[in-house]
């Protein structure tokens, strides 16, 4: 019996060590420039739910996901959710062109170092698109939530 | 004085030309890599990191339109095809296709022999690429299974005779 407990404990430790989930952690600071060159900070959204959306103009699935966000954005905004797009584009003109083409109407900032940034490491971005749902207190509540679970979070809490 | 200088230059011309053709070997300036796998290759950090780590690669730029990575090579280091393949496969993907571009025209000797050395590898080519053409690397693991089979039927003789040399075929950009 004792051996089984030890084995169970080791298995649980192994999973928690490798997962390193950001859920429940305080959102890492984001302070980047928007298309107009103005500095936008994630802090400025405290008091609202925020969906941080990591993407890039050269990422096909990201461009498709922009379309999904565009469809849900009006309903989300009404319920007090803001979306903050963070692009990994190195080339500013490609980024701005994509914003226009995808008819993006929510706040956008650029982290121009592609995959080589502190931001990518902190937020554990292994692939894009990756989204994180942050609550009004600035705590990370979900990673890659689907529209259904986003609605649940912002409607009940 | 001017005559002496002129005759010296004329006298040394053959040496200079010989020296140039002997030392100026072919080099690649840039290339295009298509990677395939279960997930989107351009969207993945692992494949980008694996490629940028290679000493002969200066930059890796994903391109949505061609679904490929544009690679810029470092002039100081020889491009290694096996190293590119290993990087892509270690990241969990496969090479769907790889095209390369020469940084300067081939020498007469290279054109005649239809091959050149570049670092540890020997490249063999069917034809010299024309303007607006790149060189497609033909090999199992450097071309998707379906494309390689098609190449095998079309260039069976050349592929068999190339042995350990890396075969290059000009393709339109």
DSSP 8-state symbol, B27: -
Determine which helix (DSSP H) or strand (DSSP E) holds B165, and give its type and residue range.
Answer: none
Closest C-alpha to A61, from B171, B73, B162, B41: B41
Which regions of chain A are under pLDDT 70? 7-19, 157
Q: Give A136→chain B minimum CA distance, Å.
A: 30
pLDDT at A66: 97
Non-local CB neighbours of B165 within 8 Å, separated by 6+ positions: B115, B121, B122, B123, B124
Q: What domains can be seen in chain B, in order of their start residue? A: 27-103+114-172 (3.30.70.100)
Interface A-B, measured as beta-carbon pairs within 8 A, has a size of 39
Q: Does A126 touch chain B (CB under 8 A)?
A: yes
The two tokens of residue B127 are 């034809």
Q: Does A87 touch chain B (CB under 8 A)?
A: no
Give the residue from A62, A64, A111, A114 with the most B CB atoms within 10 Å of its CB, the best one to mutate: A114
* Mean pLDDT within B133-155: 86
Q: Does B113 touch chain A (CB under 8 A)?
A: no
Burial class (CB in 10 A: 0-12, 13-18, 19+), B96: buried
Closest C-alpha to B165, from B127, B119, B112, B124: B124
pLDDT at B22: 46
pLDDT at B21: 44
Q: What domains can be seen in chain A, in order of their start residue? A: 23-156 (3.40.30.10)
Q: What percent of chain B has pLDDT over 90?
A: 43
Under the banding of pLDDT at 50, 70 and 90, the label for residue B150 is: confident
pLDDT at B25: 67
CA distance A147 to A142: 12
* Segment A5-32, tens digit of pLDDT: 776 666 555 444 444 899 999 999 999 9
DSSP per-residue codes, A70-137: HHHHHHHHHTTEEEEEEE--S-HHHHHHHHHHTT--S-EEE-TTTT-SHHHHHTT-SBSSEEEEE-TT
pTM: 0.83
CA distance B119 to B135: 18
pLDDT at B143: 85
ipTM: 0.83
* Segment B93-109, tens digit of pLDDT: 999 999 999 988 888 88
Q: Give A87→chain B minimum CA distance, Å.
A: 12
The two tokens of residue B169 are 């075929």
Q: Does A72 touch chain B (CB under 8 A)?
A: no
The two tokens of residue A91 are 């080339």
CB contact under 8 A, B43 and A126: no
Cβ count near B144 (within 10 Å): 15
**B1 vs A62, higher pLDDT:** A62
* Segment B20-60, tens digit of pLDDT: 444 456 789 999 999 999 999 999 999 999 999 999 999 99
Q: Does A112 touch chain B (CB under 8 A)?
A: no
pLDDT at B14: 67
Helical H runs in B93-144? 108-113
| Burial profile B108-142: b = 16 or more Cβ within 10 angstroms, e = fewer | eebeeeebbebeeeebbbbeebeeebbbbbbbebb
pLDDT at B162: 81
Under the banding of pLDDT at 50, 70 and 90, the label for residue B132 is: confident
**A78 vs B162, higher pLDDT:** A78
pLDDT at B17: 58
pLDDT at A15: 46
CB contact under 8 A, B61 and A59: no
CB contact under 8 A, B45 and A115: yes
Are B117 and B165 a contacting pair, CB within 8 Å?
A: no
**A37 vs B6, higher pLDDT:** A37
The backbone region for A107, taken as left when phi is positive above 0, alpha when psi lies in -120 to 50, beta otherwise, is: beta
């Amino acid at each position: 019996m004792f051996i089984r407990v030890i084995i169970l404990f080791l298995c649980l430790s192994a999973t928690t060590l490798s997962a390193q989930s950001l859920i429940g952690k305080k959102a890492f600071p984001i302070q980047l420039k928007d298309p107009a060159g103005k500095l936008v900070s994630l802090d400025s959204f405290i008091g609202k739910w925020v969906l941080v959306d990591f993407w890039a103009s050269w990422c096909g699935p990201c461009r498709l996901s922009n379309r999904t966000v565009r469809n849900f954005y009006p309903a989300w905004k009404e319920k007090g959710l803001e979306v903050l797009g963070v692009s990994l584009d190195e080339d500013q003109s490609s980024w701005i062109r994509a914003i226009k083409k995808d008819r993006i109407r929510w706040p956008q900032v650029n982290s121009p170092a592609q995959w080589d940034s502190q931001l990518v490491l902190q937020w554990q971005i292994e692939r894009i698109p990756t989204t994180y749902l942050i609550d009004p207190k600035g705590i990370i509540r979900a990673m890659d939530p689907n529209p259904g679970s986003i609605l649940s979070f912002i409607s009940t809490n | 004085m001017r005559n002496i200088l002129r005759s010296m230059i004329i006298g040394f011309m053959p040496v200079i030309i010989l020296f140039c053709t002997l030392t100026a070997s072919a080099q690649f300036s840039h290339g295009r890599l298509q990677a395939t796998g279960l997930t989107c290759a351009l969207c993945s950090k692992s494949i980008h990191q694996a490629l940028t780590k290679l000493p002969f690669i200066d930059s890796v730029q994903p391109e949505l339109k061609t679904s490929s990575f544009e690679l810029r090579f470092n002039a100081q280091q020889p491009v290694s095809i096996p190293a590119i393949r290993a990087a892509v496969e270690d990241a969990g993907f496969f090479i769907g296709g790889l095209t390369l571009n020469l940084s300067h025209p081939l020498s007469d000797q290279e054109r005649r022999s239809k091959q050149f050395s570049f670092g540890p590898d020997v490249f063999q080519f069917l034809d010299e690429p024309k303007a607006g053409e790149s060189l497609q690397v033909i090999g199992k693991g450097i071309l998707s299974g379906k494309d390689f089979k098609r190449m095998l039927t079309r260039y069976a003789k050349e592929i068999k005779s190339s042995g350990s040399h890396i075969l290059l075929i000009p393709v339109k950009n």
